[in-house]
């Protein structure tokens, strides 16, 4: 019997297909740089979360006391400045507030058990009255 010579290590590597990863790495770096350049320009909305039950007096004073608030209760009733209103009366009251205090940002305080539809209707009324921003305050359940 005749012995075959053992293949060398270089011959094994030559038989395997060669995958060039350079274009893939270039594309990944271009996308990464694009995200790094675009990220600071994005305007992200922020949500002011209600703090836990253990708040200091300094934290409570961060929300201006003269701003007006709209509450949505668990039964989907809408309350404006401590009195219950329907959507038509809310629109009238918000239009008056917009005339009185045009730079004021309204606070919306939805209950966790209220329907999203009620929140959306109140938000639409705020936009119809000319408010461009609103603060959303969340309470723990």
Query: Mean pLDDT, to the nearest integer, of 14-26?
Result: 83
Q: In this structure, are residues 93 and 85 in contact, taking their beta carbons and an 8 Å threshold?
A: yes
Query: Is residue 49 over pLDDT 90?
Result: no
Under CATH, what is the fold of the domain 57-136? Nucleotidyltransferase; domain 5 (3.30.420)
What residues contact residue 69 under an 8 Å CB cut-off, 6+ apart? 80, 81, 106, 107, 108, 109, 137
pLDDT value, residue 72: 92
Could you give the angle at which helices 116-128 and 87-100 cross, rounded to 10 degrees? 40
Task: Give residue-wise pLDDT tens across range 90-99.
Answer: 999 999 989 9
pLDDT band at 138 (very low <50, low <70, confident <90, very high): confident
The residue extents of the domains of the chain are 9-41, 57-136
């Amino acid at each position: 019997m005749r012995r075959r010579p053992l293949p060398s290590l270089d011959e094994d590597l030559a038989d395997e297909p060669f995958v060039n990863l350079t274009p893939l790495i270039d594309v990944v770096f271009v996308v990464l740089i694009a995200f790094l350049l675009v990220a600071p320009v994005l305007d992200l909305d922020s949500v002011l979360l209600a703090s836990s039950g253990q708040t200091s007096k300094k934290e409570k004073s961060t929300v201006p006391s003269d701003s007006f608030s709209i509450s949505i209760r668990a039964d989907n009733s809408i309350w404006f400045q401590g009195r219950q209103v329907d959507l038509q009366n809310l629109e009238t009251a918000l239009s008056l507030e917009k005339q009185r205090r045009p730079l004021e940002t309204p606070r919306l305080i939805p209950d966790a058990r209220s329907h999203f539809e009620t929140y959306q209707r109140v938000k639409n009324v705020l936009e119809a009255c000319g408010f461009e921003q609103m603060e959303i305050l969340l309470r723990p359940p």
